[in-house]
Structure 1
């Protein structure tokens, strides 16, 4: 599984989807057939293609047990304040 503490990107999401699918020992074709997607669509999702229908990305994520967490700038700032300060911030 990729480092999910990194800033969000299409590549990170694609890597997480691929990692989860392979960890579950599921083949591309099996996931595609189960979700009534083309194999090519699933390949595009796993490559981070930004032109894939977002609904299909969400369907794949849901099937694999993945979800998003929406964090606002305010919440992220508050979360950062709760962490211990880095000793080498200077």
Structure 2
């Protein structure tokens, strides 16, 4: 009998501030959709190792791969402007 995909919880944060949190979000979405790693990788057009590295928060994964996975899973990346009025130095 094949292994079942066990859903994991999404990180309880208001902003994704590091690769690890992005990985947790991606894994939570994938497992919530009951997708195995290899099936999700195929759906997103990336390799299994690439998806696994993303889910583990490996910072050396390409931005292109991250966007492919986000798009494949229906996760929209939104940019929120900092309300600070200080100029960059």
Normalised to the residue count of structure 1, the TM-score between the two structures is 0.74
What value does the CA root-mean-square deviation take over the aligned residues?
1.5
Whole-Å separation in 1 of the counterparts to 2:40 and 2:66: 12
With normalisation by structure 2, the TM-score equals 0.75
Any unmatched runs of 5+ in structure 2?
A: 1-9, 85-89
Offset of 1:42 from its aligned partner? 0.7
Per-residue CA deviations over 1:50-84 (Å, capped at 9, x if unaligned) read 1111111111011111121111112xx6xxxxxxx
Q: Look at both structures and tell me which one has the larger radius of gyration over its CA atoms.
A: 1
The aligned residue for residue 64 of structure 1 is 73
Whole-angstrom CA distance in 1 between matches of 2:42 and 2:78: 27
Q: Larger helix proportion, structure 1 or 2?
A: 1
> 1:36 Cα deviation (Å)?
3.3
**Count of aligned pairs between the two proteins:** 75
C-alpha displacement of 1:26: 0.4
Q: Structure 1's 73 and 36: CA in aligned 2 closer, same or farther, altered over 3 A? A: closer
The worse-fitting range, judged by mean Cα deviation, of 41-50 and 1-10 is 1-10
2:57 corresponds in structure 1 to 48
Name stretches of at least 5 consecutive residues in structure 1 with no aligned partner. 78-90
